Structure 1
Amino acid sequence: MSEQPLVPTPPVPTGVDGQEWANNLSEPSNYGGEAADRSREELVPGPDGAVLARFREILLQTDELDWADKTLAGLSHKALWRNEETEASISLIRFRKGAGIPLRHSHASNQFMFCLSGRYTYVPTGLTLTPGSFYWNPKGSLHGPTLAEEESVLLEIYDGPHYPTQPDWYTDPADAH
């Protein structure tokens, strides 16, 4: 089996049956990201030799996570969750003031963003995300370039793969996930 990290089974909560607690794990799944990496309790064999994991409910304190820089200057992220089979994902992304995505592009799935802080603008259309804004970019819709008018933090969700091909602005293929 894979060397994926496992966490110890948490103690049985008061008022919960011990047998229920022992069996209260998710279906086997192939999840990645900080939430999964901090909460795998059991590894099980999957199809074609894949190693799958089982999980419980998960609480992640995002302020305890470090920002990971991407190869596009001024962009960093905290990868919270990813379904490795469908490539759906949830991340916090941060654009430093003046940074942004340099070219018009489309995505291979729906992109959803919720602005937590800052001002993040889609230059051609003038759409500006401010705290509390929800943005949906439907699969295949061209958008961008973008500009962070001030440091901006966004919750970004994809319901499948990010890009049909790796964008030129990333030199590391992992940045396109």
Structure 2
Amino acid sequence: IMGEDAVERLLEQPDVSTSIGIRDRCMLELLYATGLRVSELVGLPLAALDRAAGCVRVVGKGDKERVVPYGEIAAEWIERWLEARPSSPLSPYLFPGRNGRMMSRQNFWQHVRRYAERAGISPPPSPHTLRHAFATHLLTHGADLRAVQLLLGHANISTTEIYTHVARARLRDLVEQHHPLGGN
């Protein structure tokens, strides 16, 4: 599981003086801010973005639609990307690949692995690592399991429960800090 400090180091790796760097930073920020699957991120249509509401409409596994909010930092990077995003060729995708087509998951993940290497993150992250970090960090900071389930688009709560193993230590801390007989 990638810790918050490692995520921060990863997010800082793209060279944001270039349009590719701005794109990659935006993609990483959005991935971590929303818990999207990489396939959902690269296939995200521009029209799925609701900038006024600060959320993205995602069609996930089984063609199930969900609306996922994102925070201010991701919103800032989205704005920067939209300013830097090439207008030609025309593309329906928020993050178009070559010739306006959908970027491949593999292409994006090659960039992420390179950034992770530069950041000294070992072992190298898998495509699911930032999604896992998103869920684990939410739970660690006290988010409701059911809310995390909805954000991730899981049909069954049992699928979301795999992220609770790290959060258990946090629960112990909460009891110790807030229960009258917990130690404080």
Tell me, yes or no, whether TM beats 0.5. no
Structure with the higher fraction of residues in helix conformation: 2
Give the TM-score normalised by the residue count of structure 1. Answer: 0.24
Larger Rg, first or second structure (1 or 2) = 1
Scaled by the length of structure 2, what TM-score is found? 0.24
The structure showing larger relative contact order (alpha-carbon pairs under 8 Å, at least 6 residues apart) is 2
Higher strand share: 1
